[in-house]
Amino acid sequence: MKSELSSIDLHFLMKELKEIEGGLLDKTYSGDKKQLFFQIYKKDAGKKFLTYQHPFLWLGNKKSEGELSNFATYLRKYYERAKIMSIKQVNSERIVELTIQKENAAKVYFELFGQGNVIICDHDNKIIFPLEVQEWPDRLIKRGEKYDWFKNNKNFFDSTEKDFRSLEIKENISKTLAVSFSMGGVFAEEICLRAEVDPKSDDVNQKDKKKLYESYAKLLKEPLNPQIIFDNEKLKDITPIKLQKYSGLENKPLESFNQALEDNLLIVQEPGQKENENLKKIQTKIEMQKEVLEEYREKIEDNNKKAEYLYANYEKIEELLNKGKEILKTGEIVKGMKINKKDKKITVEV
C-alpha cells in the first residue's frame, strides 16, 4: 500500500495539478485531522476539490464530512473566491506552493513530509495562519515567523552528471540514491534497473554512475502514465509512470494520477458516520443521567426511612428538642448528647 508521495511522485503530479491555475478558490472544508478540501471552480471544468490528506495531495471530486476548523474558516473569510495564480512544487521538496490573489496575494504551502502541515503566508512568506503550530530545532511554524527554511536546500532535480559521479556509496547504490537525491526507495531502485546496475551493489564505477544519471534525467522527462499495482489482488502501489520494478506484478493503467490517488486513498467520513457519533454522545449522556437518577432514588429511599422514623417517634423527638433548647441555655452536660454552641447544633444518639 502506498504510504506517501515521494518528491518524484510530486514532480509528476504537478503536471496534472497545473489545470487549476486560473481557477477560483471557493469554500474550504474540513474532514478528519489533517484533512482539508479546497473547492476549486474553473469555467468549463466545473468544481473539483484540491484534497490534502497528509501525507497526500490530489485533485478529486469528493469530500468528506467534518466540523469546520478554524483554519478552513479563516480561508473562507479572507480568501473565498480568490484567483489561483499558480501551483508548483518547491524545488525537489515534498512541498506544494499554491499562490492565490484576492485583495492581497497569499501563498498556501502543503507539507507532505514528517508530521505534515498546511501554512498560509503573505506575499513575503511571513506566516499568517498555520494549520498546526510546530517547533523544530531548525524551524518554527507559527504566526509571524518567516517560512523560508528550505531556501538554501539543494534542488535535486537540477542534479548533474558530476553530482552522480561524485557519489560515495553507503551500504548499496539504491539506498545511496534514495538518500542523496531524496527520491525514495522505489524510484532509486527503478533508476538502477533502467541503468542496468544492480541496486544492491556497493561497488559502482564511473561508467555506471553516468548511466544512472542518464536514467534519472530521462525518467524525470517521461510523460505521465499512471498505474495501479496489485500483488496477489492486493493494492501494492500507485505510480505516475510505468516502472520496471513492478514488471512481474499486475499493472493497471489509468488516465489520471489524481483519480488513482483519490479512488484508493481517500478516507471518507459519510454523513451517517457523523450521525452515529452523535448518537453515541447522546447514549453516553443517557447512561450518565441514569446513574444520577439511581443516586437520587437511593437518597429518596434513605430520606423516606428517616421521615418514617421521625413520624413514629414524634413525641420522643419533640421532648429531646425541648431538652436541647434548655441545654443550650444552661450548658448542662447530658450523656448521649453532643452540643455545638457555635453552630447551635445538638447531636443525639437514638
Q: Tens digit of pLDDT per residue, the chain (350 long)?
A: 789 999 999 999 999 999 999 999 999 999 877 899 999 999 887 899 999 999 999 999 999 888 899 999 999 999 999 999 999 999 999 999 999 999 899 999 999 999 999 999 999 999 999 999 999 988 899 999 999 999 999 999 999 999 999 999 999 999 999 999 999 999 999 999 999 999 999 999 999 999 999 999 999 999 999 999 999 989 999 999 999 999 999 999 999 999 999 999 998 765 554 444 554 554 565 566 656 666 767 777 777 777 777 767 777 777 777 777 777 677 666 666 666 666 666 676 66
- Give dist(CA 165, CA 206) in Å, integer: 6
Q: What is the pLDDT of residue 80?
A: 96
Does 245 map to a domain? no
Task: Check: CB of residue 332 under 8 Å from CB of residue 326.
Answer: yes
Clarify whether residues 26 and 87 are in a common domain: yes
Alpha helices in 170-270 (DSSP H): 173-180, 184-194, 206-220, 257-265
Q: What is the pLDDT of residue 269?
A: 62
Clarify whether residues 104 and 172 are in a common domain: no
Clarify whether residues 120 and 40 are in a common domain: yes
Q: State the DSSP H helix or E strand holding residue 196, giving kind and residue range, or none if neither.
A: none
Q: What is the pLDDT of residue 313?
A: 72
Clarify whether residues 125 and 183 are in a common domain: no
| Last residue of one domain, picked from the residues 102, 133, 153 | 153
Does 232 map to a domain? no
Domain residues for the domain of 302 are: 270-312
Does 209 map to a domain? yes
Q: What is the pLDDT of residue 97?
A: 98
Clarify whether residues 187 and 138 are in a common domain: no
Does 231 map to a domain? no
- Give dist(CA 60, CA 31) in Å, integer: 14
Q: What is the pLDDT of residue 274?
A: 47
- Give dist(CA 217, CA 55) in Å, integer: 26
- Give dist(CA 74, CA 36) in Å, integer: 13
Q: What is the pLDDT of residue 150?
A: 92
Clarify whether residues 29 and 109 are in a common domain: yes
Q: Write the burial class of residue 158 (CB in 10 Å: 0-12 exposed, 13-18 middle, 19+ buried).
A: exposed
Clarify whether residues 76 and 135 are in a common domain: yes
User: pTM for this one?
Assistant: 0.76
Clarify whether residues 299 and 317 are in a common domain: no
Q: What is the pLDDT of residue 275?
A: 44
